[in-house]
Amino acid sequence: MAAALSTKCEVGPWSEWSTCSVTCGQGSRIRKREILSPKKSNSPTADDPCSGIKTMETISCSDLPNCQLTPDQAGPYGPVVDCKVSHWSDWSPCSVSCGRGLKQKNRRIIVSFVSDEMHFSTSDYKDSTQEGWNK
């Protein structure tokens, strides 16, 4: 059932929240809805009855466990003793100007570990995710 926000703007229901964007550390969940009426035009006007209507919401999902790298990710230096994950970057531009393309966002995983040869060392890993988009 669609919810009418004004006599001229009709929106569909919110989708379910997405799964978290990460499996550990701090990520986000999103949900979306569509504007049903009037259909969006390519050149919105000042009197657009749906201007300002949110069609996407984002919430944090920071209740996940801290990230732990597997031994093969830690390399020859020893066990991970500290792991910090940066925030996700903004989405990159779409890889194509027409048709189905990809957008990517990145984050850094900074890992500290201890070994017999070194008391403390830090490595910087890159993590990324991709999503398909239609243009």
pLDDT of amino acid 85: 72
Percentage of the chain beyond pLDDT 70 is 50
DSSP the chain: -PEESSSS-EE-PPPPPPPPS-SSSSEEEEEE--EEESPPPSS--TT-TTTT---EEEEEE--SPPP---HHHHGGG--EEEEEEPPPPPPPPPS-SSSEEEEEEEEEEEEEE--SS-S-EEEEEEEEEEEEEE-
Superfamily of structural domain 11-40+53-68: Thrombospondin type-1 (TSP1) repeat (2.20.100.10)
Residues 2-36 have pLDDT tens digits of 554 445 888 899 999 888 877 766 778 889 998 88
pLDDT at residue 50, rounded to an integer: 81
Average pLDDT over residues 109-131: 55
Q: Where in the chain is the domain with CATH 2.20.100.10?
A: 11-40+53-68
CATH for 70-134, among 3.40.30, 2.30.29, 2.20.100, 2.60.120?
2.20.100
